[in-house]
Amino acid sequence: MSPVSRPDDRVASVLRFSTELVAWVAAPWALSSHSWWLAVLAVFVLIGLPTVFSTPGDKAQVIVAVPGSVTVLLVLVQLAAALVSAWLAWPVWAGCLVTVLAAAALVAEVPRWRWLTAGTAAR
């Protein structure tokens, strides 16, 4: 039986990165009115965790190896942060645009997530 190859996720990567950028900006923006400490913490969590924890086979450089399900969870945290923060920090039209972006990223990520959670990423 041949190993399952990594799906082509170029479109998903663009959508995922765009959503991550929104999360990196919108989450601290939304939290800054409550606490600047929370805003700084949000940046460290949203950028730091996916940088440190990754699944072998999914990224070229792995600092701390984690199962694919953890990578999926980290992406879901990014999507949720972008979505919720955009609605809290920005006008309704921006919240709508981010909702469409997050939904597109979610749909585009499904093949990669199946691959990650099938346990084939580390093989």
How does pLDDT run along the chain (123 residues), one tens digit per residue? 345 678 888 999 999 999 999 999 999 999 999 999 999 999 999 999 999 999 999 988 999 999 999 999 999 999 999 999 999 999 999 999 999 999 999 999 999 999 999 976 655
Q: Is 122 a domain residue? A: no
Its pTM stands at 0.90
Query: What is the crossing angle of helices 10-32 and 36-43, to 10°?
Result: 170
- Domain span at residue 78 reads 10-117
* Number of domains making up the chain: 1
Residue 89 lies in a domain: yes
DSSP states along 60-77 = S--SEE--HHHHHHHHHH
Q: Is the dihedral of CA 119, 120, 121, 123 positive or negative?
A: positive
Q: In degrees to the nearest 10, what's the CA dihedral of 105, 121, 48, 41?
A: 60
